[in-house]
Structure formats: C-alpha cells, structure tokens
Amino acid sequence: MLNNLFEETSRQEEPKAFIVANCENASYGGTICAERNAITTALSKGYRKFKAIAVVTELQEPASPCGMCRQFLVEFGNCRVLMGSSRGGDVTETSVVELLPNAFTPAALEIHDEEEEKSE
C-alpha cells in the first residue's frame, strides 16, 4: 500500500506531499500501515494539519484505511481520503469522519476534563 499525505498550506505555498509505504512484519503487531507512517513522517517534520490522504493499493478495487488508521487519522482532523488502485479504475473520495462516524477524538477528552472541573 502506498500513501500520499498532503499537508494544509497557505494559498501561496505549494502543498507538501509525504509519500510513504506500509511496512509488513512477520509479527502482525509490528506492521506499520502507510497511513500511520505518513502522519508520523509529517509530524516529525513539524506539520500538524492535513488536507488529504491518498491511499493507493495494488488490489483490483480501492481499499480504505483500517480501523486503527481511521482512529489515528481522526486525531488530526477531518481530511479528505482518496482511495484508488494502481491498476487503474475509479478513485473513491470520502472523509475521515465518514469512515469513522461518532469517533472518539481529543475533543471528548477536553469535554471530560471540563466536566470534572465543574464537579469539584
């Protein structure tokens, strides 16, 4: 799987793209999906807001990010998700929130902290 992560930039700047791949491991827990690889690569370079992520697979049909990656992505906002196949065909467009409705986000933690402070 290959991902392109596009960083949100001002209109004057060219968008930054981070092109990464997943890293399979014999121990499944050690596998790093391309989506998480893209986010952590961008974070390590100081980027925090993302416009879109493109997920490209070698499968016949486009594939969407796994559940863990959906949760990881939603932590950074609701960017566009483009899914396609290197074999051609249609590209499917959606958003992180559409892939993970009712997501648990950092905002839920902030609300919890505020409620705790009120009850003290």
Q: What is the CATH number of domain 2-119?
A: 3.40.140.10
Residues 111, 113, 114, 117: what is their CA dihedral angle, to the nearest 10 degrees? 160
Residue 91 is predicted with a pLDDT of: 93
Residue 10 is predicted with a pLDDT of: 47
Residue 66 is predicted with a pLDDT of: 93
Catalytic residue numbers, as ranges: 35
Rounded Cα gap, residues 99 and 78, in angstroms: 10
Residue 4 is predicted with a pLDDT of: 63
Mean pLDDT, the chain, integer = 84
Length of the chain: 120
Region 90-99: mean pLDDT is 95
29-60 residue pLDDT tens: 888 999 999 999 989 988 888 889 999 988 88
- Sorted by where each begins, the domain ranges of the chain are 2-119
